[in-house]
Structure 1
Amino acid sequence: MAPPGTRSPRRWLALAALTLSVLIIGLDGTVITVALPTLARDLGASAAELQWINGGYLLALSVALLPAGKLGDRFGQKRLLLAGIALFGAASLAGAFAATTGQVIAVRALLGLGAAAIMPLSMAILPRLFAPDELSRAIAVWTAGTALGMPAGPLVGGWLLDSFSWGAVFLFNVPVAAAALAAAAWLLPADGPAGRAASGPFDLAGTLLGAAGITAVVYSTIRVPAAGWGDPAVLATLAGGAVLLVLFVRRQRRHPDPLVDVGLFAGRAFRWGALAAVFVNFAVMGLLFVVPQYLQDVLGGDALSTGLRVLPLIGGLMAAATLSEALVPKLGARAVIAAGLVLLGGGALLGATTAPSDGYAFTAAWLSVAGLGFGLAMVPATSLAVGALPAEGTGAGTSLLETVQQLGGVLGVAGLGSLLNAGYRSRLPAGAPAATRDSVAAANGDPAALAAFVHGMDLVLAFCGATALAVAVLAAVLLPRRAPAPELPLPAPHPGQLPV
């Protein structure tokens, strides 16, 4: 990590560049969701094609995360980060002029590849910029950037779709990516010599094995909404993916220069910090999965107003980012993470008492509590995991952290989606139209359907809340109180690596 004596005021500008690079990922993910109905109308996209506009991105992101970090460690984290931002911008430009659904799916896959480089490497660079006493603050800002894009996406998407054609949702990314690329190129410290972190041949076979396992797991999960968890093909593909991932882990344990160091999980700080972050992400993904639908379909409103009404969650996160920085040195990471999980779980359980007659004020209140818990738990948990990484190979470590969170989020949303659908359909009248049974958006304000959706949402929120409270108990028992010192000393920098 950067020693205190090498600090420069420009490190905060460099953090702004990194935050901007992850902000566009969050924006793009939710902007395209808002644009799906328009794409269906203008391009004649089928339901399956719309599913793959999201699924193609998710699949490419999940598969490329693991090798991205290792390649960054070998050939330069800044170099590969800049390449990822450039790819993201170029793919967005191509998407603005796409003429068919197939071209849009291909563009989304390229965006996933770009995001796979941006996410882990932007995090991996943080310890090179900030000393341990400032790393938590930097991670809080970075986390806020990733989270802010989620509710801001519908705001941006709603305005763009109201004012321009659907291609604008892609074109919007281009100037943001160009600004992030220029700022990162100027402000981030230079990489060391290429290949510095390499000690053997690149593990291509392991890369293919991991990619096949992740592809099988993610692909089967993408098919769950249409086929159901009991579908034999879904179960067989999911089981096959699990077997491949077990084989991947065994190979990584034996390889002289593994793609990821699974031995990191032997350290208590990384293991429980990473798992705490996974479950926090799981709970928040559950909230962001059901709440926008509730705000738009039950309370009424367009994409723009929905984005605005999710902002209390981000407000709580921003408040917690400042609060956690003051609390962790006094109380320790363990206490703060456990308290954050309790608040997150309490907010979700409060939301699980929502009745069809409740208005937005109640939703804003429990979202604020959940957002506060989100920030208090996620920031120190991520700091704990990142702080346990060796000075060399941070890219591979952050890739492992992001991959575990990504797979947990994918499986979690699929499971929560099934729970939502089961709760929703169980309360619908027997004679409800088929369209209404598929989606509350097709219910045209039918009070019975709206009440059924609120019931399904309450089940999802109750499960998320109970999970957060259970993990809070584990965190209080198993997490180390303080973050450990970095495992390896930072190698002496060459002239191009002098602090910014």
Structure 2
Amino acid sequence: MTTGYDDPRRWWALAALGLAVLTLGFDITIMNVALPTIATELEVGTDALQWMVNAYILVIAGLMLTCGALGDRYGRKRLLLIGLGLFGISSSIAAGVDSAGPVIAARGVMGMGAAIMMPVAFAVLAALFGPAERGRAVSLLVMGLGVGIPLGPIIGGYLLEHFWWGSIFLINVPIAIIGAIAIAFLLPESRDPTPRRPDVLGAVLSTAGLTSLVYGVIEAPSRGWSDLATIGPITAGLVVLAGFVAWELRVRDPMIDLHLFRRPQFLWASIAGVLVTFGMLGLLFVVPQYLQFVTGHDALGTGIRLLPLIGGLVVGAPAGERLAARTGYRVPVSAGLAVLAASAALGALTGLQSSYGFVATWLATAGLGIGMALAPAMDAVLDALPTEHAGAGTAITMTLRQTGGALGVALLGSLLAEGYANRVHTAGLPAEAAATARESIAGALAAATRLAEPSLAASAHAAYLHGMTLVLAATAITAGLSALLTALRLPGKPSAASVDDHRTLGATTSDDRDV
């Protein structure tokens, strides 16, 4: 059976991978629209709801580096099947329980499956597609992951309107089964032909350090950046990660090769991916709340109104891939970041009387910029890696994106909260209602309804819009500076090291990629 770059099944295998990452994408956001329903049905408080969301994010961030390295060592197809199995089984468990604890545990196991699939899915592309086709393959996989994120509110809203809350988990099960069958039959196995000895200490240090760091970042918006519950985990995480770096640089067989950062193409493409993710998650953090609480749409209506972002992404990813094929990586990545900056700046002009057509315009433009930049950035990362180490290498990039995204949401969330709290008018309200109104726009609108105070609702709308303006302005500035930095530092053409790697790959025997 043919394997490698000439395998006729490779595009069908890519479709199976795309289905898997699409599920991962919408599972990042589908919980957000379900939280009010779950809170009512399971009678749980805010802390439990937060852990239902954060358990997934924490496990992904903590395990992704280790899982990418395991894929290189033990076989990427095998790891993908394990990841899909964990994801499907834990989703079916979450759909059938009736208390918060099992849901949180199941979400953690789902995060474990996602931590396996995210880096390994991209690493497989290096073994399936040669340089001439890989850009297109990467753009399609990026589209799958990117489209899934804004699809979460749409799918969740529809399911919650027609079925019970557990359906948001149960929908993962048939997709996981179909994906596993397709991967089992269509995907050739690929692994490092000369695997290193397991780096157990490196795996422990990276998992502990990343989990602690991301936990502290997640806690920051609610507890404050000066709270001990924030500072302690962040400091501990940074110390442990410093120990991880020191260990990886001295051990004979490291889990990941940190010398990859000496390659400008890998370094700056990874940084660009983090910065694009920062901008995308910034938009997805503020816009759904604007659509739901300021303009008054329900969960499904909010999700549908995010479709222009998806449309822009679907257009932008293949456009970036084609531009990269003609001009190299620098042009589409820096141009995409510039388009994202312009769209965020335009979004910052949104007012209380702005039409949805105006909002849809800048959302579509943002999606265009995200797609243009993210797909070539991921292709540049893969192009800079030896194929046998593609899992560990992409895991580095995906971990940086996950951690950077969590940090971005925390920073932008703090900016939004401060901008909102400083503008909402609570004078004359009972103390408890005033505190609730200052905490969030949802709390303010609930208090306004309860107290029959339309002026409070109007003030909350204006205050939220002010906070959103600050977030979008910060996103525009960050993306604009990122575009300039990328234009100056990201190599325009494949690095000499990556070219040598691909030449070496051409001589690899079929034993290195057995079916």
Looking at structure 2, the residues matched to 324 and 167 of structure 1 have their Cα atoms a distance apart, in angstroms, of 38
Looking at structure 1, the residues matched to 509 and 115 of structure 2 have their Cα atoms a distance apart, in angstroms, of 27
How much does 1:496 deviate?
8.6
Looking at structure 2, the residues matched to 481 and 372 of structure 1 have their Cα atoms a distance apart, in angstroms, of 21
* Contact 1:197/1:393 (8 A) holds in 2: no
Looking at structure 2, the residues matched to 481 and 496 of structure 1 have their Cα atoms a distance apart, in angstroms, of 31
Name the structure 1 match of 2:462.
451
* Contact 2:317/2:374 (8 A) holds in 1: no
Looking at structure 2, the residues matched to 230 and 181 of structure 1 have their Cα atoms a distance apart, in angstroms, of 45
Q: SS in structure 2 opposite 1:455?
A: helix
Deviations 1:105-156 (A, max 9, x none): 0000000000000000000000111111111111111011001111211111
User: Aligned-pair RMSD on alpha carbons?
Assistant: 1.7
How much does 1:170 deviate?
0.9
Q: Among residues 235, 239, 260, which one is paired with 2:235 in the alignment?
A: 239
* Contact 1:98/1:104 (8 A) holds in 2: yes
Name the structure 2 match of 1:416.
412
How much does 1:486 deviate?
4.2
Looking at structure 2, the residues matched to 466 and 448 of structure 1 have their Cα atoms a distance apart, in angstroms, of 27
Looking at structure 2, the residues matched to 18 and 440 of structure 1 have their Cα atoms a distance apart, in angstroms, of 39
Q: SS in structure 2 opposite 1:257?
A: coil
Q: SS in structure 2 opposite 1:223?
A: helix
* Contact 2:93/2:106 (8 A) holds in 1: yes
1:207-246 matches, within 5 Å, as: 207-246=203-242
**Gap regions ≥5 residues in structure 2:** 446-453
* Contact 2:268/2:486 (8 A) holds in 1: yes
How much does 1:455 deviate?
0.5
Name the structure 1 match of 2:438.
437
Looking at structure 1, the residues matched to 435 and 489 of structure 2 have their Cα atoms a distance apart, in angstroms, of 48
Amino acid at match of 2:324: V
Name the structure 1 match of 2:136.
137
How much does 1:191 deviate?
3.6
* Contact 1:391/1:486 (8 A) holds in 2: no
Name the structure 1 match of 2:359.
363
Looking at structure 1, the residues matched to 103 and 480 of structure 2 have their Cα atoms a distance apart, in angstroms, of 41
Q: Among residues 370, 377, 384, which one is paired with 1:381 in the alignment?
A: 377
1:38-53 matches, within 5 Å, as: 38-53=37-52
Deviations 1:20-70 (A, max 9, x none): 111111122222221111111111111111111111111111111011011
Is the deviation greater in 37-46 or in 482-491? 482-491
Size of the aligned set, in residue pairs, is 494
How much does 1:442 deviate?
2.8
Deviations 1:167-191 (A, max 9, x none): 1111111001111111111110124
Name the structure 2 match of 1:497.
513
Name the structure 2 match of 1:347.
343
Name the structure 1 match of 2:168.
169
How much does 1:498 deviate?
6.3
Name the structure 2 match of 1:274.
270
Name the structure 2 match of 1:392.
388
Name the structure 2 match of 1:120.
119
Amino acid at match of 2:128: L
How much does 1:365 deviate?
0.6
1:147-226 matches, within 5 Å, as: 147-191=146-190, 196-200=193-197, 202-226=198-222
Looking at structure 2, the residues matched to 262 and 147 of structure 1 have their Cα atoms a distance apart, in angstroms, of 27
Cα distance change on mapping 1:383 and 1:164 into 2, 3 Å: same
How much does 1:294 deviate?
0.5
Looking at structure 2, the residues matched to 278 and 441 of structure 1 have their Cα atoms a distance apart, in angstroms, of 30
Cα distance change on mapping 1:106 and 1:498 into 2, 3 Å: closer
* Contact 2:119/2:391 (8 A) holds in 1: yes
* Contact 1:38/1:166 (8 A) holds in 2: yes
1:263-302 matches, within 5 Å, as: 263-302=259-298
Amino acid at match of 1:323: A
TM-score for the superposition, normalised by structure 2: 0.93
Name the structure 1 match of 2:451.
none
Percent of aligned positions with the same letter in both sequences? Answer: 44
Amino acid at match of 1:493: T
Deviations 1:414-451 (A, max 9, x none): 11100000000111114262222122123337111001
Name the structure 1 match of 2:306.
310
How much does 1:412 deviate?
0.9
Amino acid at match of 2:441: V
Deviations 1:328-351 (A, max 9, x none): 233221122111111010000110
Looking at structure 2, the residues matched to 17 and 375 of structure 1 have their Cα atoms a distance apart, in angstroms, of 21
* Contact 2:119/2:395 (8 A) holds in 1: yes
How much does 1:3 deviate?
10
How much does 1:208 deviate?
1.3
Q: SS in structure 2 opposite 1:142?
A: helix
* Contact 1:79/1:191 (8 A) holds in 2: no
Looking at structure 2, the residues matched to 265 and 3 of structure 1 have their Cα atoms a distance apart, in angstroms, of 31
Name the structure 2 match of 1:474.
485
How much does 1:487 deviate?
4.6
How much does 1:377 deviate?
0.9
Name the structure 1 match of 2:254.
258
Cα distance change on mapping 1:335 and 1:496 into 2, 3 Å: closer
Amino acid at match of 1:437: R
Looking at structure 1, the residues matched to 222 and 319 of structure 2 have their Cα atoms a distance apart, in angstroms, of 43
Deviations 1:438-495 (A, max 9, x none): 2212333711100100000010011011001101111111111112334532263336
* Contact 2:77/2:190 (8 A) holds in 1: yes
Amino acid at match of 2:303: G
How much does 1:236 deviate?
2.6
Deviations 1:247-274 (A, max 9, x none): 1111111111111111111000000000
Name the structure 2 match of 1:37.
36
Looking at structure 2, the residues matched to 176 and 379 of structure 1 have their Cα atoms a distance apart, in angstroms, of 24
Q: SS in structure 1 opposite 2:475?
A: helix
Looking at structure 2, the residues matched to 319 and 493 of structure 1 have their Cα atoms a distance apart, in angstroms, of 37
Name the structure 2 match of 1:463.
474
Looking at structure 1, the residues matched to 3 and 316 of structure 2 have their Cα atoms a distance apart, in angstroms, of 26
Name the structure 2 match of 1:425.
421
Cα distance change on mapping 1:197 and 1:411 into 2, 3 Å: farther
* Contact 2:69/2:392 (8 A) holds in 1: yes
Name the structure 1 match of 2:397.
401
Cα distance change on mapping 1:21 and 1:48 into 2, 3 Å: same
Is the deviation greater in 222-231 or in 138-147? 222-231
Cα distance change on mapping 1:251 and 1:435 into 2, 3 Å: same
* Contact 1:206/1:252 (8 A) holds in 2: yes
Looking at structure 2, the residues matched to 460 and 344 of structure 1 have their Cα atoms a distance apart, in angstroms, of 14
Name the structure 1 match of 2:449.
none
Q: SS in structure 2 opposite 1:313?
A: helix
Name the structure 2 match of 1:319.
315
Looking at structure 2, the residues matched to 135 and 496 of structure 1 have their Cα atoms a distance apart, in angstroms, of 19
* Contact 1:389/1:486 (8 A) holds in 2: no
